[in-house]
Structure formats: structure tokens, C-alpha cells
Amino acid sequence: MKAASLLCCAAVIASAQVKEFISLDMPTPACHASTVVELSSGDLLAAWFGGTKEGAPDVAIWMSRRTANGWSTPQEASREPQVATYNPVLFHSADGLLWLYYKLGNSPSSWSAARELSRDEGANWSAVEHRPAGLYGPIRTKPLLLRNGTILSGTSVESY
């Protein structure tokens, strides 16, 4: 009986999930590694990397905001000249600031890391802060915010 109750609860939860595309007419032929964060207003902000193909120098970080009216037209949010960007991660810190972490490089073995900060829920972003060598920050998954305010994130190095 308990298993049947759990199954019914899971079915109700699953039926409440919303499935939708940000855009059926994306501005780039390829996109990958999306991240989504809920804003204090209840809006959603999504980011991903996109360009002609993964690793191409035109690959940039793109964003779209979902309001009550639906998803906004995707906008290019961050780009480095002639260097591909990868794996954005949006994250709210304990002080309410919104962070965007991402990787730069023409291949994973030569990646470096960057981050930007928004004090207004993604309407505006700080200048790019290039992270120190070897300090990559979160890669594709959000960090954990511990009770004491420490931010804990996994990372990886692909210098093989």
C-alpha cells in the first residue's frame, strides 16, 4: 500500500512538470550546457553556450529570461574575442548576488575560468573577472551554499 501511495504521489508531481522550449528559432546553430536560476521576482533566468559548433571561436554565453509573458528573445551575454566560452553556471550567493561562472578556451585542455556578477538579478553584469590559473570554480553544476555561508563547488581539470 505504501508503494502504491508513493507511486501516486510521483505521478501527480510528474504531471505538474512544465515542458517548453526557450525558443524554437535559436540564434545559433548549436547550443549546450544550460543552467537556470529562479530570481526573487519569480522569473527564471537561463544561460547556455552557443555558436556554430562547440569549440568554435564564435561560441558565446547566451541568456533568456522567463516572465509571466514567456521567454525573452535570447541575447548574447558574454563573449571573448576569438575564444570559445563553455559551461555557464548561474548561482545566487547568500547575500543575494547573482553569479555567472563559465570557462574560456579553444579546447577543454586549455580552459581558463571567468565569472561575472549581477546586483540586479541579471539585468546588468559586471566586467569579466578572469579567475587565477587552476581555480576553475563550478563546472556545469551549481555550487552548494553551506549554512555558514561557504560556497562549495566541484571542479575538474582536463589537461591530459
The ranges assigned to domains in the chain are 21-152
pLDDT of 137 higher than 80:
no
Please name which of 24, 65, 31 lies closest in space to residue 48, comparing C-alpha atoms: 31
127-135: average pLDDT: 85
Q: What mean pLDDT comes out for the span 131-152?
A: 83
pLDDT digits (tens, 9 = 90+) for 56-106: 889 999 999 999 999 999 999 998 888 999 899 999 988 889 999 999 988
Please report, as a single letter, which amino acid is at residue 44. Answer: L
Grid cell for residue 94: 547568500
pLDDT at 1: 41
Percent helix, strand and coil across the chain, each to the nearest 5: 10, 40, 50
Average pLDDT over residues 13-33: 78
What grid cell was written down for 85? Answer: 566560452
pLDDT reported for residue 23: 84
The helix/strand/coil state of 111 is: coil
Percent of the chain clearing pLDDT 90 (strictly above): 42
Angle at CA of residue 34, ends 94 and 90, nearest 5°: 15
Mean pLDDT of 30-43: 93
Select from 3.30.70.20, 3.40.50.620, 2.120.10.10, 3.40.50.1980 the CATH code of 21-152. Answer: 2.120.10.10
Rounded mean pLDDT of the chain?
84
d(CA 36, CA 91): 9
Mean pLDDT for 13-18 is 59
Query: Is 33 within 8 Å of 86 (Cβ atoms)?
Result: yes
- Closest by alpha carbon to 64, among 47, 50, 49, 79? 47
Residues in the chain, total: 160
User: Structure pTM?
Assistant: 0.83
